[in-house]
Each structure stands twice: as C-alpha cells, then as structure tokens.
Structure 1
Amino acid sequence: MRDQVTLACNDCKRRNYITTKNKRLHPDRVEFKKYCRFCRKHTAHKETR
C-alpha cells in the first residue's frame, strides 16, 4: 500500500514536492536531496505529516 507524502525543504520549510512511499517498507520519515526553487539550490527535503 503506497501513501502520498509531502516533502518540505529543510532550509525554508516550504512544501515543494509530493511523492509516494510504501509505509510498510519505510515506516520512518524519508529524506531526499531535491532542488528548491525558492532557495535556488539543492537542499535536503524531509517528509512532513
């Protein structure tokens, strides 16, 4: 079962991306390096609830 999660930038705290994840395989919060158009650089994006 895949659920939608929102990814927020760790620097500016804006929610930039929506992705899906399998909560059974990854029960903890995921973190990706993604491009933030507000910061204009690649930053870490963490899953928000």
Structure 2
Amino acid sequence: MAKGKDVRVTILLECSSCVRNDINKESTGISRYITQKNRHNTPSRLELRKFCRYCSRHTIHGEIKK
C-alpha cells in the first residue's frame, strides 16, 4: 500500500482568534492541536471548537497546512 493514498491524514488545528490577536501582540502564543481526519468523508477544511490556553476560552480552531 502506498503512503500517499492513505485515507486518514494527520492535520493541524490552529486557533483563529490567536492568529488575529498576534498582530496586536496581545497573546503570548498560538494554540495548536494535532488530530486526524478521514480524507474521503471530510474533503473540506475542518473547524472544531477547542480550548485555547492563551485565550483562556473555547474558540474555533481551523485546519492549516503543515
């Protein structure tokens, strides 16, 4: 089986509010999560509500490129 044809792929989720606040230098970092998704069931970019330790609240984390 070829590695490039795997159905489940590893993705990075990044906090969307930390990215916007990073311009203003308000946050100390950017919250990122590593997870997996099924490429066939979810072809579009994934967005999940996760806890951001830099914002100290639940925010939307969107999929980014590695």
Compute the TM-score of the two structures, normalised by the length of structure 1: 0.91
The residue correspondences of 1:1-12 to structure 2 (distance < 5 A) are: 1-12=7-18
The residue correspondences of 1:7-46 to structure 2 (distance < 5 A) are: 7-13=13-19, 14-46=30-62
Superposition misfits of 4+ residues, deviation over 3 angstroms: none
RMSD over aligned CA atoms reads 0.9
Higher Cα Rg, which structure: 2
Deviations 1:15-49 (A, max 9, x none): 41000001111000010000000111100000001
Question: 2 CA distance for matches of 1:22 and 1:4?
Answer: 9
Structure 2 unmatched runs, 5+: 1-6, 20-29
CA contact under 8 A between 1:3 and 1:23: conserved in structure 2? yes
Larger fraction in strand:
1
Question: 2 CA distance for matches of 1:47 and 1:26?
Answer: 12
Larger fraction in helix:
2
